[in-house]
């Protein structure tokens, strides 16, 4: 079964700092990749997704992610974070032809004003 | 647009009691999922249903059963609740093929005492 790895579970940043969250997956076939965000007390919302084409994907709220197939990675970035970006971020993978959607353990990001 | 609706939002059970969490989606999605979310563990897949009439085990199926009642509804049953099942449960649905993301319900916070 596919697995998803996220490192540095807790990240603390100051406003205007840059953010990068790593995501690696274990499956070597064709995958669809997602980043979800969960604000305190809320459900998961889609931040961005990659299916095919340009490996640099832009999402909402200034987030972007880069798919590097050779590294099985899909890292999330934001050049300048805001206090409102305080949330938990989850990477997810679904394998082509298999409807099983697997999540990483998440990154808890705290942005200090 | 209702999206994915879960009931109840909160529940307290005594050890050994049973209950069913209900989930319904109105997006004509093929695939539906049940996850549990625990601190530091991310979202762990309990069961999923790739299409109406099928169900499959996820990472942590023990102690749970599911029913895909029809295309819209996917319920999760705890036959004999245990304190280890205290968690936040999320239902999700997706188109079931690639090129679609999952949409989440608001979650059910379950406490087993």
pLDDT recorded at residue A100: 84
In chain A, the residue whose alpha carbon lies closest to the alpha carbon of B31 is A99
pLDDT recorded at residue B103: 92
User: Average model confidence (pLDDT) for chain A?
Assistant: 92
Q: How big is chain B by its Cα radius of gyration, in Å?
A: 13
Of the pLDDT bands very low, low, confident and very high (cuts 50, 70, 90), residue B96 is low
Q: Please check the confidence at residue A95 and state whether its pLDDT lies above 70.
A: yes
Pick from A51, A90, A97: CB nearest B42: A90
pLDDT (tens digit per residue) in B70-85? 999 999 999 999 999 9
Higher pLDDT among residues A1 and A49, named by residue:
A49
Among B14, B3, B33, which residue's Cα sits nearest to residue B96?
B33
Q: Is the dihedral of CA B102, B54, A105, B2 positive or negative?
A: positive
Q: Is the dihedral of CA A47, A53, A55, A56 positive or negative?
A: negative
Distance from the B106 Cα atom to the nearest Cα atom in chain A, whole angstroms = 5
Yes or no, beta carbons of B42 and A103 under 8 Å apart:
yes
pLDDT (tens digit per residue) in B7-51? 999 999 999 999 999 999 999 998 999 999 998 888 999 999 988
Phi, psi of B93 (to 5 degrees): -140, 155
């Amino acid at each position: 079964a596919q697995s998803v790895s996220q490192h540095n579970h807790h990240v603390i940043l100051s406003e205007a700092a840059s953010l990068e969250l790593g995501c690696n997956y274990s499956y070597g076939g064709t995958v669809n990749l997602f980043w979800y965000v969960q604000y305190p007390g809320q459900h998961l919302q889609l931040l961005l997704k990659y299916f095919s084409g340009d490996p640099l994907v832009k999402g909402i709220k200034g987030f972007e992610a880069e798919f590097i197939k050779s590294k099985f990675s899909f890292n999330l970035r934001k050049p300048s974070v805001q206090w409102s970006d305080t949330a938990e971020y989850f990477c997810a993978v679904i394998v082509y032809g298999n409807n099983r959607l697997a999540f990483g353990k998440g990154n808890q990001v705290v942005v200090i004003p | 647009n209702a999206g994915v609706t879960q009931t109840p939002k909160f529940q307290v059970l005594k050890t050994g009691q049973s209950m069913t969490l209900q989930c319904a989606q109105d997006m004509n999605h093929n695939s539906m999922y049940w996850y549990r979310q625990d601190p530091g563990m991310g979202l762990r897949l309990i069961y999923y249903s790739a299409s109406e009439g099928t169900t499959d085990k996820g990472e942590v199926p023990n102690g749970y059963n599911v029913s895909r009642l029809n295309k819209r509804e996917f319920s999760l049953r705890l036959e004999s609740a245990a304190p280890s099942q205290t968690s936040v449960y999320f239902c999700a649905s997706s188109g079931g093929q690639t090129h679609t993301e999952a949409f989440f319900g608001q979650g059910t916070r379950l406490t087993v005492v």
